Amino acid sequence: MEALIDDLNVRELRDNLAEHLARVAAGASLVVTSRGRPVARLVPYVAAEARRFGFMEGQIAFLDEDDGMETDIAASIIAELDPPV
């Protein structure tokens, strides 16, 4: 499976579309450029049903409600808006 991201211009993509789509289907990511500027990225399709409930488990942490962070943030914002004289 190819993992590198390659740049290709619009003309190259148009002239060899089937070949480039096959590369993307095999796992490649391609950046399409027009006049040297990136305009699009082609990446392999991932079906929506592949995501399952809980797919971010262990990657997100929730803070305790009583940790005081909200009060600290509010106090720092107020201090910036209304500095002591």
Q: To 5 degrees, how large is the angle CA 38–CA 43–CA 37?
A: 5
pLDDT computed for residue 43 by the predictor: 92
pLDDT tens for the 85 residues of the chain, in order:
444 568 899 999 999 999 999 999 999 999 999 998 999 999 998 876 666 677 777 777 766 666 556 667 777 777 777 766 6
Contact 78, 61 (CB under 8 A): no
Rounded Cα–Cα distance for residues 8 and 31 (Å)? 6
The one-letter amino acid code at 23 reads R
- The pLDDT, as a whole number, for residue 1 is 43
Instruction: Look up residue 36 and give its two tokens.
Output: 């040297």
Question: Hey, where are the domains in the chain?
Answer: 5-45+53-81
CATH of 5-45+53-81, one of 3.20.20.450, 3.40.1620.10, 3.30.230.10, 3.90.650.10: 3.40.1620.10
Q: Residue 2's pLDDT is what?
A: 44
The owner of tokens 């940790």 is: 67
